[in-house]
Amino acid sequence: MPVEHLSNAKPARHIETPSPGSPFSIAWQDLVESLERSSVWIHAGWIDIVWQFRRTLIGPFWHTISLAAFVIVMGVLWGSMLGQDPVEHFRFVGTGLIVWTLISSFIMNGAGCLISGQGTALQTRFPYMAFAFGNVWRALLLFGHHIVLYILLIVFTLHWPGWKLFLVFPAMLLLLANGIWVSLLFGMMSLRRRDLVPAVSSAMQIMMFVTPVFWPKDRLGSKLAYIADLNPLYHMMRILRDPMLGLLPPLTSWMWTGGSLIVGTAITFWFYGRYRDRFAYWY
């Protein structure tokens, strides 16, 4: 071939090939890499909270004050409607809202976790799964501020949960593990279909009143009890709320939450490994 033809030849084009391995192996590799880069999403989550409440006097405690006002209103309203003891019902509603805020943040904020990470995802080699870890970390930081409200409820209602309070630790670990796959699953679906972000937010507002947060389950009666029994959000809330109230969560709720972790993680990991190479084109 003549030399001039060689000089005018175009350089070989680099073609991106799909990630090797099965969907589960791809998801596992990104899980390991996300944990190795934990310092990145931990720092980013902290900075997000600081930046969100910059130049305010009490910072994230505005969330706690807003939640406390909501507890007072809903406690008085639902307590009078249901004829409950006001002190006991305030404690029930306040603790339930604290736990519900944590769980709902996994879903509502998780729906936008991949979308908000567009700049990082398109500019650097970064595991998408780390955005789900960051969302759960931010939710945990706000939950830590809400614990102040829980302490005030315990003090002013003169109620000590006893040794059952220690069940909070395994319950919290189980909830955070569920929060990872929930944030990632809703984040992936919302990345593909942006209409899901407002749809999820609206659905969670409805679910807050369908789930026994403001009212006890026995108010449904035996014929409608299945509405709560088949609601995984109710079981997730109960394994954390009951120990905070000094109660033992039923074994059924532990099994529901553990089963949700296994099934949800399997489905999310398969979906993640199957479509991860397309995420960049969905932005």
Q: How confident is the model at residue 257 (pLDDT cuts 50, 70, 90)?
A: very high
pLDDT in tens, 177-224: 999 999 999 999 999 999 999 999 999 999 998 899 888 888 888 788
Alpha helices (H) along the chain: 3-7, 23-36, 38-52, 61-82, 86-108, 113-116, 118-123, 129-156, 168-192, 196-210, 221-224, 226-229, 232-244, 251-275
Burial class (CB in 10 A: 0-12, 13-18, 19+), 217: middle
Cβ contacts of 88 within 8 Å, gap of 6 or more: 157
Rounded Cα distance between 200 and 193, Å, is: 11
What pLDDT score was predicted for residue 32?
94
Residue 3, pLDDT above cutoff 70: no
DSSP-assigned letter for residue 111: G
- Polymer length in residues for the chain: 283
Tell me what the mean pLDDT of segment 135-147 comes to: 93
Q: What is the largest CA-CA distance in the chain?
A: 95
Q: pTM value?
A: 0.86
